[in-house]
A and B are shown apart, each in its own frame.
Chain A
């Protein structure tokens, strides 16, 4: 698939996104939750051009009439499936869910969430660090969902995280990137990829996030709760690529006062 970057960014050489030992052409990672139905989900994911898709681990619903399994729609041959530990409130619980996800036989990667507060879904960074250390020891490739705090991110990197995933704003809030400065600080100081996870509400949020130098974005609700998810997914794909291009291009400095764009000389007397 040709990306916009290749079409308009003549001479711009972008590296593919590399996390641990895998490379991805798309810098847009998407979740599979909250769509109205599975068909709508897979159409949106394809329109987003996403290669990596997150999934949750839950009890089989024994009362439900036999529905198609999620993996019937999300073919692991087409998408790289990334299990999460959403809904876990302690390191032990998150580790249990991570192991269940790995037992699927699909992957030893995990998007690690250890939540510390129900209303904000902010991470419990102590539990997150503890779980990261243990899972890295067990051979997992760990992508922790964290806040946008540099010190925590450095500790996660030190603990062996393959990427860090700071929030742009709370999960499902659609408030966009509340603190662009922190993303730039993280990018400046970390060696592992910085993937902004959560908070994007619409395309401009994605673009602004990528303009800060984020390596990728993970989003779910912005697509699933759009009136037309497939079209929003297309917009997000373009926005991520536009933001990436703008970052690579290097923006002009901000100034408080006007500077004319036309020559001062040559005016009529």
Chain B
């Protein structure tokens, strides 16, 4: 006798479609946020390293997450200079005018993409709330 293929029955017959759907949703999410995913490839700035040898970091781009400590200087034309607490260290970060569409306030937790300029100054190229 030919044995007849026996169709799954019961709850099992629903597991496979759910898995497929989840994979499809995950793929969607992954591919939809491909830019952010790119930022995550930027290395994090180690604050202590910056303090100890900032000049060696010139020309590099880093990612920094920290809490806004203080707004040091603000000029309409040039942007804002803020101090960011990263761990135990306070770092000065220049937020150019182009990046000022985000309201920056004290005690905000922000994530910066930074460039170290020739004077060792941290200039933000992207600021996001984290």
| A and B form one complex | no
User: Taking beta carbons and an 8 Å cutoff, which residues of B are in contact with A?
Assistant: none
